[in-house]
Chains A and B, each alone.
Chain A
Amino acid sequence: MTNPTAPLLAVDDLRTTIHTARGDLRAVDGVSLRLDRGEMLGVVGESGSGKSVLGRTIMGLHTTGPLTTIQGRVEFDGQDIHGLRAGQLRDLWGSRIGMVFQDPMTALNPVKKIGTHLTETLRKHRGLGRGAARDRALELLAQVGIPDPRRRIDQFPHEMSGGMRQRVVIAMALANEPDLLIADEPTTALDVTVQRQILDLLDRLQEQLGMAVILISHNLGVVAGRADRVAVMYAGRIVETSEAGALFRAPHHPYAEALLAAIPRLELPPHLRLEAIEGAPPNMLRPPSGCRYAPRCRYAQDDCVSRTPLLEGTPDEPDHRYACHHPVNLEPLMPVTPAEPEGAR
């Protein structure tokens, strides 16, 4: 469903190339996406797919320099992110774009109190005075579900558990009510019960603040339950993107299908043989020509190597786009029900 008003974020043919001693690593190789206000996009991929580099590039953390070359365009609310000067970019971060990184242990400065982490960003971007900043910080801590904020605000990171720390990091990202939140594996280092609490929190806050979110994860389940749209990445490119439910009901790209089949499912009986994907992700220094998944794809044919497939939808489902010459599951399928497991698909 395309939104008639301008998207909050528009990424056009983004390419991030990292120059290493052994050659050029094409971490992100032609990614285009749109994000509307208030929408949650899930970006899913395994390690090496380039999803984290994508997140950082969108934010502007990777810029063209001696180590990296950025091509393509990232437009945030009409502004070209990579055309901004360092100072303008910094103003954007923390006030209009927030980022939550993977490891809560290292995202916080061990010698700064929790409160300081929050008040610093509040005072810088909002110009609040000391007292006002502290009050707002207490508000934020309560909002992210930290019990007893008055005691916690003066604690140091090591005095809190991983789940708490991640909430603090989220509070920092949200302090100035950004329009866009980029969350890179925000729950990977956390236990499953804490993970659920954090994801519920993100859901709630997204509703309350009308914030757009990019949720990057290797865990499809995390993304499936929460995101409006999902994009599956492989070897630096998006291979399938659609509304979340549609992807899980009927993935069209063989990689997405294989990924779903490889995950053990709780609702299926034990001891089922999982459909493992043969081989390993490609070497991003010298990626294969044509479709990058072809070497591992069970449906691959000659034209997959000779012609690079483009990310396109069909007339029936214009919003469910995939980059494949021989997509799967195009006929409507029966949803998987626990009562009659057909084996892992």
Chain B
Amino acid sequence: MAGTGNLHLRESDQVLSVDELVVEFPAKGGGTVHAVSGISFDVVDGETLGILGESGCGKSSAGRALMQLPSPTSGSVRLQGVELTGASKRELRTRRAGMQMIFQDPVSSLNPRRRVKDLVAEGPRTRGEKVDDTRVREVLAAVGLDPEVVWDRRPHELSGGQCQRVCIARALMLDPELLICDEPVSSLDVSVQAQILNLLEETKKRYRLSMVFIAHDLAVVKNISDRIMVMYLGKVCEIVPSGQLAGEALHPYTRLLLESVPEAHLPGAETEDSITATSAELPSPIDPPSGCRFRTRCPLATEVCASEEPQLRRAGDGHYVACHHADA
């Protein structure tokens, strides 16, 4: 099966290079779930790549595959040029050290029996390093927590936002180069969400990180990313610089997402040409449509869409679209 093509890949300065990533696993009752079907992308030093899509698009599976948790079915993931896929557990421990992950449910990401001081220090301790208390305090302060207050607390004594800060602190203790965030603010209230998004931006600047930010909320992804990769049913539809998402998106699916966002109805928001929202259901990832996977819901679909899978082609500066019919 054809992948996304290579047009959108850059030449140098890549922190992360992903080539033909495939994630599949057996479905209950036979068949295979094609969660991710051959995508390639890269992240350049200091960049934030947003991965945007709804449930079932494979973005979370892709994120976990990057971390080799578990390893992808096939494809290559290279961090600073060093191959991660296929590495043994021991090799992985050293090679993957520069990559850390923040998960969706902050409370569930922390061991309920441990206190904050031990939770944050856990990373280096796993490596066998001795951890200095002052360093832990520094990192806690850097994420906006008062060490004196939270030092001895357990996760259930903290709010969701505070737990997420602890998770970020824990990740920072390992001096990562790349931070993968899997829906880190989806389970948080609006006001807390804003705090954490600001924190992530700050942290990225201060520690000079690169980021992969996975989410389903368009405005959130736009706010934090430099480039946005839109996924649908295991494939990449479009890669667009975040500033152009709202005005210049070309892929019918991206346009559909933009139309569906509730804020689209707010006074003062842009009104675009309407994409008819079909009531067709999301196809099953066990048996995805041939050719372009979005064709069953796409108003622009023709015969070629069923027979030939579209590759990413250039639509502008840094802007790539995988569609036979989308025009600039």
Contact = CB atoms under 8 A, between A and B. Distances in A.
B267 interface: yes
B278 to A, nearest CB: 9
Interface in B244-274: 245-246, 256-270
Given A266-B218, A266-B222, A274 B194 contact: yes
14 contacts: A46-B191, A192-B257, A193-B54, A196-B262, A197-B279, A221-B262, A249-B267, A266-B264, A266-B269, A271-B223, A274-B198, A277-B195, A280-B192, A337-B268
B115 interface: no
A191 B261 contact: no
B281 A266 contact: no
A338 B268 CA distance: 7
Contacts of A249: 267
Contacts of B265: 221, 224-226
Interface size class of B (residues with CB under 8 A): 35 or more
A267 B226 CA distance: 15
Interface string B46-90: 000000001100000000000000000000000000000000000
Which of A47, A225, A337, A338 is the most central at the interface, judged by chain B CB atoms within 10 Å of its CB? Answer: A225
Contacts of A272: 223
B189 A270 contact: no
A170 interface: no
Residue with the highest number of chain B CB atoms closer than 10 Å, among A196, A259, A277 = A196
Nearest to B159: A280
Interface in A301-341: 335-338
B141 interface: no
Interface string B213-231: 0001111101111100000
A147 B280 CA distance: 8
A342 to B, nearest CB: 12
Contact of A259 (B191, B217, B226, B280): B191
B277 interface: yes
B201 interface: yes
Name the residue among A219, A270, A336 with the largest chain B CB count within 10 angstroms.
A270
Contacts of A195: 260, 262
Interface of B: 54-55, 159, 161, 189-195, 197-198, 201, 216-220, 222-226, 242-243, 245-246, 256-270, 277, 279-282
A147 B161 CA distance: 41
Contact of A338 (B195, B262, B270): B270
B279 A145 contact: yes
Contacts of A248: 266-267
Contacts of B197: 264, 274
A120 interface: no
A221 B219 CA distance: 11
Contacts of B201: 271, 273
Judged by DSSP, the binding face of B is helix
Interface string A240-259: 00000100110000000011
Contacts of B217: 192
Contact of A46 (B190, B224, B267): B190
Contacts of B260: 192-193, 195-196
B271 to A, nearest CB: 11
A204 to B, nearest CB: 13
Contact of A161 (B218, B246, B282): B282
Given A248-B267, A270-B224, A335-B267, A47 B189 contact: yes
Contacts of B243: 269-270
A335 B268 contact: yes
Contacts of B54: 191-193
Given A161-B282, A248-B267, A264-B223, A46 B194 contact: no
B189 A225 contact: no
A262 B190 contact: yes
A170 B258 CA distance: 25
Given A258-B191, A267-B270, 7 more contacts: A192-B54, A193-B257, A218-B189, A218-B190, A245-B267, A263-B219, A274-B197
Given A164-B281, A191-B55, A262-B193, A271 B161 contact: no
B194 A277 contact: yes
A165 B197 CA distance: 33
A280 B161 contact: yes
A188 to B, nearest CB: 11
A225 B268 contact: no
Contact of B224 (A47, A191, A271): A271
A192 B261 CA distance: 6
Shortest 5 CB-CB contacts between residues of A and residues of B: A225-B265, A221-B262, A264-B223, A196-B260, A262-B194
Nearest to A222: B262
B226 A270 contact: yes
Among B222, B258, B282, the most chain A Cβ lie within 10 Å of the Cβ of B222
A225 B266 contact: yes
B268 A264 contact: no
A266 B247 CA distance: 10
A111 interface: no
A77 interface: no
A256 B76 CA distance: 47
A66 B133 CA distance: 49
A225 B261 CA distance: 10
Nearest to B57: A191
Nearest to A47: B189
B242 A270 contact: yes
Contacts of B264: 225, 266
B257 A267 contact: no
A196 B277 contact: yes
A259 B309 CA distance: 43
Contact of B219 (A258, A266, A337): A266
A305 to B, nearest CB: 21
Interface string A164-205: 100000000000000000000000000111011101100000
